[in-house]
Chains A and B, each alone.
Chain A
């Protein structure tokens, strides 16, 4: 298994540009989520999905969109990039969110810089 994969690893955008961060998992996990990691603030949840066709907002959803058309993929879209979105982005997945199998597996992260 490749686990959780993210592309790209690094990205530089100009203010106002849009882009999509890709996330895929091959473990047949139902639960997928996106976090951003900023210095001194830990990981904060942006959006999450409990299955194909179902998404919901996390703690910091503004400026981001998600969709979940398949179990495997969970892309994160930045609609109009702002310097405040400069961060490291992590995608994660888990088999479930209750009971056995609720530990999250993380992708390698995407470092995004918005100029």
Chain B
């Protein structure tokens, strides 16, 4: 089984500042996908960003970007210009490439943006 580790249970950041959330994973696979999901207080799970392991270029989505280090099995999320609406639980997730494969989630990081 794959494992996903998020070593920061809680983090905080000042509004408009930048924050980085860490995620490491353990796998012997060479082809896989990595995701960051956001869960605000409403409880709805929302996809933030996705990275294919075969792509060397780091994915970006507006203020969200990742630092994907395949050799180190690291997948951190950087949030720039933090906004109050970014306050949420953030989950890192791993999925092997191929049909019928399972998602594996980390335990989450609770991020609070301070006004």
A interface residues with partner B (beta carbon < 8 Å): 31, 33, 35, 40-45, 48, 50, 56, 58-59, 88, 90, 92, 96-98, 102-106, 108-109
- Residues of B contacting A: mostly: loop
B interface residues, tally (CB under 8 Å)? 27
Given A97-B95, A97-B98, A103-B35: A41 in contact with B103 (beta carbons within 8 A): no
B residues 37-69 with Cβ under 8 Å of A? 37, 42-47, 50
Complex: how many Å from CA A26 to CA B104? 25
Complex: how many Å from CA A31 to CA B100? 7
Complex: how many Å from CA A97 to CA B31? 12
**B91 at interface (Cβ–Cβ under 8 A)?**
yes
Complex: how many Å from CA A43 to CA B106? 8
B interface residues with partner A (beta carbon < 8 Å): 1, 4, 9, 33, 35, 37, 42-47, 50, 91, 95, 97-108
Tell me how far the C-beta of A53 lies from the nearest C-beta in chain B, rounded to whole angstroms.
Answer: 13
Given A50-B99, A97-B95: A106 in contact with B44 (beta carbons within 8 A): yes
Which of B4, B103, B104, B108 is in CB contact (< 8 Å) with A104?
Answer: B103
Known pairs A97-B100, A102-B33, A108-B42 / 17 extra A-B pairs, C-beta < 8 Å: A33-B103, A42-B4, A42-B91, A42-B106, A43-B103, A43-B105, A44-B105, A56-B100, A59-B1, A90-B45, A92-B103, A103-B50, A104-B47, A106-B37, A106-B46, A108-B43, A109-B44
